[in-house]
Structure 1
Amino acid sequence: MSQSFDASRSLAALEQDNTIIAVIEMSKAKWLVAALVPGLKRQPLKKIDADAPALLKLLQRWRDEAGRAGHTVQRIAVAYEAAGDGFWLARWLRAHGIEAYAIHPSSVPVSRDTAAPRPIVSTPSF
């Protein structure tokens, strides 16, 4: 019996001491990159130009910072919402040894409650 593919399950166990986990908020001009980096108390957040080599340079810098903190990074995993033609970045990152997850926009839950909250009005009771 064959097992069905489940994209929500990782094929490798997460070892936080040697894995950088990064997420990207993409726009046409800039990308906002946040990460969990082993050995760092802070959670880095960096705005960069929308440029794949700049992203790779940033990930390598964070790998070096983890190394200076005594953690050898063996795995870098990146996730982002791939709108439009955003799947090219996942292919590019994988070609450079980075684990990449392009998430289709329709699979990201969105709150449909877009109405502005109504103010609570109290009426005096006499």
Structure 2
Amino acid sequence: MRRIVDQAPVAAALDYDSTLIGALELSSKKWVVAVQVPGSRKHTKYAVEPNGPALATLLEMLKARSAAAGKPIARVVVTHEAGRDSLVQFNA
């Protein structure tokens, strides 16, 4: 008897030559964004105002800078922390 195996779809590989990778630290006063741009192994930190338009402006600036350097960005991947200010208070 032949066995049929369901295969999950294969995830796309991460292309470091065309992907902007970022990590976002949130706070009420500023957001800190650490990014790795295509063609570079180092991470660079930027501080922006704590709102979406400021973050979008930074990402668009980084995309334009990378394209001007000959490394156009096809995909942006940004992750963020779960809570603001990394403070959790427990009352006993």
TM-score (norm 1): 0.55
- Structure of higher RCO (CA pairs closer than 8 Å, 6+ residues apart): 2
CA deviations 1:49-92 (Å, max 9, x no partner) are 101010011011111111011011100000011227xxxxxxxx
Secondary structure of 2:28's aligned partner:
coil
> Residue in 1 aligned with 2:11?
11
> Residue in 2 aligned with 1:28?
28
Instruction: Report how many residues are paired.
Output: 80
Q: Which amino acid aligns with 2:65?
A: E
More helix by share: 1
> Residue in 2 aligned with 1:48?
48
Is the CA contact 1:31–1:49 (under 8 Å) kept in the aligned structure 2? yes
> Residue in 1 aligned with 2:79?
79
Give the superposed CA RMSD: 2.6
Q: Does 1:58 align with 2:51?
A: no
TM-score (norm 2): 0.73
Q: CA deviation at 1:39?
A: 3.2
Is the CA contact 1:40–1:66 (under 8 Å) kept in the aligned structure 2? no
Secondary structure of 1:79's aligned partner:
strand
Identity %: 34
Question: 2:71 and 2:21 mapped to 1: Cα distance?
Answer: 14
Please, which runs of 5 or more residues in structure 1 have no aligned partner? 5-9, 85-104, 106-126
